[in-house]
């Protein structure tokens, strides 16, 4: 059976991280979101994949190639233009018969893949606390009756998880699908048509983690790190404390006085320490430097970035190739302990998180003793001058002096 | 200039072809067509923009096909003349961008063999030639068919006998391969297929390629298969229609090696030592010409002033250059004089009025324009196309150089028919014209030096441009380019005129750009530079490569390839275009749409 993964989207709601990579290529626990899905699907027994790509497709292709590294076959289809999920799935008509298809930016577990594979004409569903942001699903026993668009007052907490097992028939309905009010061809519209002729079985998903906004990456990161096993390939000097499950990549050196509390993953060729503190749920990419008197917790630091001197980084995402100046610090908790609001793409959003630090794009440099307030979002290639205070949304290529 | 596309893949070819043609519409839009291969060649063509083609497009099945958007050069704008063209047996469909110089000979011989022609285009012969050479392998047939063709071309072809295959070939016209997933593309440029793939394989001159949905094969000039790697194009979609250039103006400046080539190619022959236009034009230029009026506005007017120097020098016939808005109401009308009207768009209102006025007064009229089918071409007795392709930047660049070259060809043609130019002299001129694309490219390759000078000019309040002879109108154009896009006050002067007034405006902070060519005016120009320097301003000299003296006189020097010839002004114009562009860019001006200006001025 072929597995089609939709990986064409830009992910505008994950700006600034998606200015330089498609959403599915954002790293969580040092692997792109898409790779977690690939691994879970492979573990569930799938060997043939089709990635529907589009936005910055060359990054997906150059990372995954033809799948040799994972001992599977990966084929690509370019969506051409982002016209919606039905349009994306319609792309693979000539390449599949009975197939499963999933949104590549949501992480599905191995057992869920197995359950979906087993049951022809099925859909993965999830119960969530706040269903307002999702497609609502009406059920009759085990079968789906209708999928509704986002609702302000949803009648159920069961939502569409974004993974399906279709037969070739779905293409008849995709062909008939008209543009939705928001101007896209939605697979949910095709499904609603199909349900009238064919039963669609509901399968409740056990592991499901979607990423809508950047701070959801921290939740996904935490969830994945909980499942890792300890593995140390790098060099560990004396007088170091490593507690819990920690992965240390090859050619990485952990220097004297480092205190690492797992789960933590550290990539290859990094310099960690001396005298630093890395706390749980932290992912550090390849070629990074975490230096003296630095503390990092619950954060993602992408490849080639430095947190080198007297820094505090908590509940934050640091893009690739960033450098924090000595003493640059991140605030991650409001003094009144209220939930943190951010401004993203010019819109104010309540993150519903009590703790959130900075979301930093690629190639950002900060000067000494600069301060980033809770929920600051900094675009790519920004230049934060010494002693500056950063709050709100800073657009790419800005200079804060 | 036309746009062509080929597709072999899994999508509906209909949609891909229409989509891609829309991206290529900037290359021409007078008629368009597609052929989708599915058991037979399903052809649909329409006069007008791609929109027209799309409107009633039949629902062709199939995932292989070719498409074309046309900017007519041979044959009127009609559905018959639109591409694709089919071979006589209806099996082979081709689209073509370029000109087949020996097409009438080929057509006669093909007709004798019984091939049936259904259009007046030069391109159709290719379809029949491929049928003639076809022996079960399309890329071979294309290779051998093109051996018989002289001219320049990019073609894409399909055959019903090989339903999954699309074959392309190019010589002097652009064609690139887009490498997709389960699909491959051919297009006049990357824009055509960038939506579907950003992986590109470049095809060299003289090569043939064959694509299917799975593979790409390239064959060199000797028909031997070669390997070539993909390259990834990192453009934004928005940049794409500008071919990766930040502005249309810059793209159009960089189009000039190609457009300069297009004006000349097919019109001059080194071997026959001749200059050819179509019959109507030749008739106009042949008979008793006592005087010539050239009527135009703006940049076209400056091209006309250059034309005046060329025509007078090569033919001895007196030429009057008039502004359209003035000529409409004033000046003389003479039935014996030829009125040449120069207009890029063919729609400039003042120029149209002047043209009608001339026609009503009984003058013979000839239009030099970039747009076939434009109002001017319908009014005048005959027209000559500059063949530059659409120009989108408001500041005229490639159309200006093309207009000069058309006027230059007119001068040569009249000169020959009046026996003012001998065969050897003509050979020399033609030879120089043919070297122009290379010279223009040389300027473009050294544009960083021009950028350095632009940095010196960007804060000026006023800039003077001076030159003598043919370089006087070039100075006017240099000043016009600078003022219209950078908003710096700039004036062009005949160098000898400075002392008759303009010196009063010259201060230490008024840079002066001086064109110094190694001809009879050289010493005078050096003297003029001396006069200027005595008053303190910085002098930027535009001088020939081998001018070793000039550094002693000027503060900065920009070089152009040596050649004291009628066409040396073209590289100088390109320098001025780049200078204006860089100054405007440094000043942060809106380059493609300067304030208060419109591309085609259709009001009085």
Alpha helices in B96-236 (DSSP H): 103-112, 124-133, 138-147
**Has residue B198 got a pLDDT over 90?**
no
B91, B41 Cβ separation under 8 angstroms: yes
Other beta carbons within 10 angstroms of residue B53's beta carbon come to 24
Strands A365-366 and B162-171, sheet pairing: unpaired
SS (H, E, C) chain A: CEEEEEECCCCHHHCCHHHCCCHHHCEECCEEHHHHHHHHHHHCCCCEEEEEECCCHHHHHHHHCCCHHHCCEEEEEECCCCCCHHHHHHCCHHHCCCEEEEECCEEECHHHHHHHHHCCCEEEEEECCCHHHCCEEEEECCEEEEEECCCCCCCCCEEEEEEEEECCCHHHHHHHCCCCCCCCCCHHHHHHHHHCCCCCEEEECCCEEECCCCCHHHHHHHHHHCCCCCEECCEECCCCEEECCEEECCCCEECCCCEEECCEEECCCCEECCCCEECCCEEECCCCEECCCCEEECCEECCCCEECCCCEEECCEECCCCECCCCCEECCECCCCCCCEEEECCEEEECCCCECCCEECCCCEECCCCEECCCCEECCCCEECCCCEECCEECCCCEEC
Mutate to test the interface with A, among B181, B232, B236 (most CBs of A within 10 A): B181
Catalytic, out of B2, B297, B363, B569: B2
**Has residue B596 got a pLDDT over 70?**
no
- Rounded to the nearest angstrom, the minimum Cα separation between A94 and chain B is 7
Q: Do A58 and B198 touch (CB under 8 A)?
A: yes
Condensed to tens digits (0 to 9), the pLDDT of residues B282-302 reads: 888 887 788 899 999 988 999
Q: Which helix (H) or strand (E) segment is B474 a member of?
A: helix B471-486
Residue B499 has what DSSP assignment? G
The mean predicted confidence, pLDDT, of chain A is: 95
- Rounded to the nearest angstrom, the minimum Cα separation between B51 and chain A is 19
**Rounded distance between C-alpha atoms, residue B96 and residue B76, angstroms:** 16
Check residue B599 and give its pLDDT. Answer: 57
Q: Do B182 and A81 touch (CB under 8 A)?
A: no
Q: Which helix (H) or strand (E) segment is B84 a member of?
A: none
Q: What's domain A2-212's superfamily in CATH?
A: Spore Coat Polysaccharide Biosynthesis Protein SpsA; Chain A (3.90.550.10)
Q: Do B232 and A58 touch (CB under 8 A)?
A: yes
Check residue B205 and give its pLDDT. Answer: 86
**Has residue A108 got a pLDDT over 90?**
yes
Alpha helices in B148-278 (DSSP H): 237-240, 248-254, 256-264
Condensed to tens digits (0 to 9), the pLDDT of residues B52-72 reads: 899 989 999 999 999 999 877
Condensed to tens digits (0 to 9), the pLDDT of residues B146-165 reads: 999 988 899 999 999 999 99
CA-wise closest residue to A56 among A30, A16, A18: A18
Q: What is the CATH T-level fold of the domain B3-240, as seen in this structure?
A: 3.60.20
In the predicted model, what is the mean pLDDT of residues B159-175?
Answer: 92
Q: Where are the domains of chain B?
A: 3-240, 245-440, 446-604
Rg (CA), chain B: 25
**Taking CB atoms and an 8 Å cutoff, what residues of chain B touch A76?**
181-182
**Has residue A132 got a pLDDT over 90?**
no
**Taking CB atoms and an 8 Å cutoff, what residues of chain B touch A95?**
10, 182
B115, B88 Cβ separation under 8 angstroms: yes
Every domain range in chain A assigned CATH 3.90.550.10? 2-212
Share of chain B above pLDDT 70, in %: 96
Q: Do B195 and A58 touch (CB under 8 A)?
A: no
**Rounded distance between C-alpha atoms, residue B234 and residue B230, angstroms:** 13
CA-wise closest residue to B566 among B445, B400, B407: B407
Q: Do A58 and B199 touch (CB under 8 A)?
A: yes
Which residues, in sequence order, are bridge partners of residue B69? B3, B32
Q: State the pLDDT confidence band at B506, using cuts at 50, 70 and 90.
A: confident
**Has residue B195 got a pLDDT over 90?**
no
Q: Which helix (H) or strand (E) segment is B522 a member of?
A: helix B522-533
**Has residue A15 got a pLDDT over 60?**
yes
Q: Do A78 and B11 touch (CB under 8 A)?
A: no
Q: State the pLDDT confidence band at B23, using cuts at 50, 70 and 90.
A: confident
A77, A89 Cβ separation under 8 angstroms: no
- Find where tokens 């809106």 sit: B590
Residue B545 has what DSSP assignment? T
Which residues, in sequence order, are bridge partners of residue A329? A312, A371
**Has residue B192 got a pLDDT over 90?**
no
Residue B439 has what DSSP assignment? H
Same fold, B245-440 and B446-604: yes
A158, A151 Cβ separation under 8 angstroms: no
Catalytic, out of B195, B280, B458, B599: B599
Cβ neighbours for B76, distance < 8 A, ≥ 6 positions apart: B120
pTM, rounded to two decimals:
0.73
**Rounded distance between C-alpha atoms, residue B335 and residue B360, angstroms:** 10
In the predicted model, what is the mean pLDDT of residues A96-105?
Answer: 95
Condensed to tens digits (0 to 9), the pLDDT of residues B456-505 reads: 898 899 999 999 988 999 999 999 999 999 999 999 999 998 888 887 88
Residues in A whose CB is inside 8 Å of some CB of B read 53, 57-58, 75-78, 80-81, 91, 94-95
Paired tokens of B149: 């063709």
**Rounded distance between C-alpha atoms, residue B491 and residue A360, angstroms:** 50
**Has residue B46 got a pLDDT over 80?**
yes
Q: Which helix (H) or strand (E) segment is B397 a member of?
A: none
**Taking CB atoms and an 8 Å cutoff, what residues of chain B touch A78?**
180-181, 183, 196-197
Mutate to test the interface with B, among A10, A77, A82, A185 (most CBs of B within 10 A): A77
- B425 exposed, middle or buried (CB, 10 Å; 0-12, 13-18, 19+)? middle
Mutate to test the interface with A, among B196, B229, B235 (most CBs of A within 10 A): B196
Condensed to tens digits (0 to 9), the pLDDT of residues B226-236 reads: 999 988 876 66
Q: Do B181 and A80 touch (CB under 8 A)?
A: no
**Rounded distance between C-alpha atoms, residue B398 and residue B404, angstroms:** 10
**Rounded distance between C-alpha atoms, residue B524 and residue B499, angstroms:** 13
**Rounded distance between C-alpha atoms, residue B131 and residue B160, angstroms:** 11
Other beta carbons within 10 angstroms of residue B422's beta carbon come to 12
Q: State the pLDDT confidence band at B564, using cuts at 50, 70 and 90.
A: low
Q: Do A80 and B11 touch (CB under 8 A)?
A: yes
Condensed to tens digits (0 to 9), the pLDDT of residues A228-256 reads: 999 999 999 999 999 999 999 999 999 99
Share of chain A above pLDDT 70, in %: 100
**Rounded distance between C-alpha atoms, residue A173 and residue A191, angstroms:** 7
Mutate to test the interface with B, among A80, A91, A93, A95 (most CBs of B within 10 A): A80
Nearest CA in chain A to B12: A91
Paired tokens of B370: 């970039």
Triad B52, B56, B60: Cα angle to 5°: 120
Condensed to tens digits (0 to 9), the pLDDT of residues B97-124 reads: 988 888 889 999 999 999 999 988 889 9
Check residue A323 and give its pLDDT. Answer: 97
Query: Number of H helices and number of E strands within chain B?
Result: 19, 27
Every domain range in chain A assigned CATH 2.160.10.10? 224-400
**Has residue B361 got a pLDDT over 90?**
no
Cβ neighbours for A364, distance < 8 A, ≥ 6 positions apart: A318, A319, A322, A323, A378, A380, A381, A382, A383, A384
In the predicted model, what is the mean pLDDT of residues B344-348?
Answer: 83
The mean predicted confidence, pLDDT, of chain B is: 88
Residues in B whose CB is inside 8 Å of some CB of A read 10-11, 180-183, 195-199, 232
Check residue B375 and give its pLDDT. Answer: 80
**Has residue A216 got a pLDDT over 60?**
yes
Alpha helices in B39-80 (DSSP H): 50-55
**Rounded distance between C-alpha atoms, residue B59 and residue B42, angstroms:** 10
* CATH class of the A224-400 domain in this structure: mainly beta
Which residues, in sequence order, are bridge partners of residue B364? B338
In the predicted model, what is the mean pLDDT of residues A320-341?
Answer: 96
Q: Do B197 and A78 touch (CB under 8 A)?
A: yes
Q: Which of B181, B196, B197 sits opposite A75 (nearest CB)?
A: B181
**Taking CB atoms and an 8 Å cutoff, what residues of chain B touch A58?**
198-199, 232
Check residue B598 and give its pLDDT. Answer: 62
Active site residue A289: no
Other beta carbons within 10 angstroms of residue B466's beta carbon come to 28
Q: Which of A58, A81, A94 sits opposite B10 (nearest CB)?
A: A94
Strands B151-159 and B92-100, sheet pairing: antiparallel
Here the ipTM equals 0.80
B69, B42 Cβ separation under 8 angstroms: no
HSE on the CB side for B386, CA within 13 Å? 34
* CATH class of the B446-604 domain in this structure: alpha beta
Q: What's the CATH code, domain B245-440?
A: 3.40.50.10490
Strands A341-344 and A347-350, sheet pairing: antiparallel
**Has residue B601 got a pLDDT over 60?**
no
Check residue B238 and give its pLDDT. Answer: 60
Condensed to tens digits (0 to 9), the pLDDT of residues B415-459 reads: 888 888 888 888 888 888 888 888 899 899 888 899 999 998 988
Coil vs helix vs strand at B181: coil
Q: State the pLDDT confidence band at B588, using cuts at 50, 70 and 90.
A: confident
Check residue B101 and give its pLDDT. Answer: 83
B210, B165 Cβ separation under 8 angstroms: yes
């Amino acid at each position: 059976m072929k597995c089609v993964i939709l990986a064409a989207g830009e992910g505008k709601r994950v700006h600034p991280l998606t200015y330089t990579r498609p959403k599915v290529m954002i790293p969580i626990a040092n692997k792109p979101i898409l790779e977690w899905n690939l691994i879970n699907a492979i573990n569930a027994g799938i060997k043939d994949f089709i990635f529907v790509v589009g936005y910055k497709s060359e990054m997906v292709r150059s990372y995954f190639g033809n799948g040799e590294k994972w001992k599977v076959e990966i084929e690509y289809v370019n969506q051409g233009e982002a016209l919606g999920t039905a349009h994306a799935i319609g792309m693979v008509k000539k390449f599949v018969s009975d197939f499963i298809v999933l949104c590549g930016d949501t992480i599905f577990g191995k057992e869920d893949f197995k359950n979906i594979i087993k049951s022809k004409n099925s859909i993965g569903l999830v119960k969530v606390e706040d269903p307002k942001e999702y497609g609502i699903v009406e059920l009759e026993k085990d079968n789906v009756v209708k999928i509704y668009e986002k609702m302000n007052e949803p009648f159920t907490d069961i939502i569409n998880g974004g993974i399906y097992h279709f037969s070739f028939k779905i293409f008849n309905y995709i062909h008939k699908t008209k543009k939705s009010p928001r101007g896209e061809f939605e697979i949910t519209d095709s499904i609603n048509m199909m349900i009238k002729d064919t039963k669609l079985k509901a399968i409740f998903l056990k592991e499901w983690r979607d990423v809508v906004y950047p701070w959801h990456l921290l939740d996904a990161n935490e969830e994945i790190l909980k499942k890792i096993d300890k593995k140390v390939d790098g060099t560990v000097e004396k007088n170091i404390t490593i507690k819990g499950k920690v992965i240390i990549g090859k050619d990485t050196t952990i220097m004297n006085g480092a205190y690492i509390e797992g789960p933590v993953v550290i990539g290859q060729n990094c310099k960690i320490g001396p005298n630093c503190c890395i706390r749980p749920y932290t992912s550090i990419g390849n070629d990074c430097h975490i230096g003296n008197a630095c503390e990092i917790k619950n954060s993602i630091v992408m490849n080639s970035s430095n947190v080198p001197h007297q820094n505090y980084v908590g509940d934050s995402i640091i893009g690739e190739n960033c450098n924090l100046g000595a003493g640059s610090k991140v605030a991650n908790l409001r003094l009144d302990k209220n939930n943190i609001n951010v401004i993203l793409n010019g819109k104010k959003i309540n993150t519903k998180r009590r703790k959130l630090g900075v979301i930093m794009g690629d190639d950002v440099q900060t000067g000494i003793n600069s301060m980033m307030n809770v929920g600051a979002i900094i675009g790519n290639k920004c230049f934060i001058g010494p002693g500056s205070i950063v709050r709100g949304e800073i657009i790419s290529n800005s200079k804060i002096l | 200039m036309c746009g062509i596309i080929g597709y072999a893949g899994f999508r509906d070819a209909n949609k891909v072809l229409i989509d891609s043609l829309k991206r290529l519409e900037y290359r021409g839009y007078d008629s368009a067509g597609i052929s989708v291969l599915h058991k037979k060649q399903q052809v649909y063509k329409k006069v007008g923009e791609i929109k027209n083609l799309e409107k009633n497009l039949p629902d062709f099945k199939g995932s292989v096909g070719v498409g074309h958007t046309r900017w007519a050069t041979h044959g009127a704008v009609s559905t018959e003349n639109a591409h694709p063209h089919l071979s006589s047996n209806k099996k082979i469909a081709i689209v073509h961008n370029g000109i087949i110089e020996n097409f009438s000979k080929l057509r006669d011989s093909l007709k004798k063999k019984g091939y049936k022609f259904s259009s007046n285009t030069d391109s159709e012969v290719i379809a029949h030639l491929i049928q003639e050479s076809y022996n079960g392998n399309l890329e071979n047939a294309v290779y051998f068919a093109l051996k018989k063709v002289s001219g320049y071309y990019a073609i894409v072809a399909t055959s019903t006998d090989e339903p999954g295959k699309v074959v392309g070939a190019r010589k002097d016209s652009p064609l690139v391969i887009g490498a997709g997933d389960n699909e491959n593309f051919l297009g006049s440029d990357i824009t055509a297929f960038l939506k579907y793939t950003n992986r590109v394989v470049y095809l060299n001159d003289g090569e043939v390629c064959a694509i299917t949905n799975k593979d790409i094969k390239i064959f060199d000039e000797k028909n031997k298969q070669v390997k070539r790697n993909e390259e990834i194009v990192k453009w934004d979609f928005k940049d794409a229609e500008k071919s990766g250039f930040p502005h249309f103006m810059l793209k159009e400046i960089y189009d000039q090696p190609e457009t300069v080539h297009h004006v000349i190619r097919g019109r001059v022959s080194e071997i026959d030592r001749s200059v050819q236009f179509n019959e109507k034009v030749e008739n106009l230029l042949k008979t008793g010409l006592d005087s010539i009026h050239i009527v135009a506005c703006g940049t076209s007017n400056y091209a006309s002033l250059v034309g005046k120097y060329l025509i007078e020098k090569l033919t001895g016939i007196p030429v009057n250059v008039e502004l359209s808005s003035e000529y409409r109401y004033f000046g003389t009308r003479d039935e014996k004089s030829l009125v040449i009207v120069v207009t890029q768009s063919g729609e400039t209102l003042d120029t149209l009025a002047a043209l009608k006025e001339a026609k009503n007064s009984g003058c013979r009229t000839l239009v030099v324009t970039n747009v076939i089918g434009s109002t001017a071409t319908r009014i005048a007795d005959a027209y000559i196309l500059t063949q530059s392709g659409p120009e989108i930047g408001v500041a005229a660049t490639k159309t200006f150089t093309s207009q000069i070259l058309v006027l230059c060809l007119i001068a040569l043609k009249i000169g020959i028919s009046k026996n003012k130019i001998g065969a050897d002299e003509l050979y020399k001129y033609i030879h120089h014209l043919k070297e122009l694309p290379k010279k223009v490219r040389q300027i473009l390759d050294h544009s960083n030096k021009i950028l350095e000078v632009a940095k010196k000019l960007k804060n000026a309040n006023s800039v003077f441009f001076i030159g003598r002879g043919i370089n006087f109108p070039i100075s006017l154009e240099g000043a016009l380019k600078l003022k219209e896009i950078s908003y710096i006050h700039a004036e062009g002067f005949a160098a000898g005129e400075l002392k008759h007034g303009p010196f009063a405006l010259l201060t230490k902070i008024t840079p002066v750009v001086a064109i110094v060519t190694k001809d009879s005016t050289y010493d005078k120009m050096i003297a003029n530079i001396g006069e200027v320097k005595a008053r303190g301003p910085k002098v930027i000299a535009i001088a020939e490569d081998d001018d070793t003296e000039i550094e002693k006189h000027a503060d900065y020097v920009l070089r152009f390839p040596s050649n004291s010839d009628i066409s040396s002004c073209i590289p100088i114009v390109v320098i001025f275009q780049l200078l204006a562009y860089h100054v405007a860019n440094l000043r942060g001006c809106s380059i493609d749409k300067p304030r208060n200006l419109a591309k085609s001025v259709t009001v009085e």
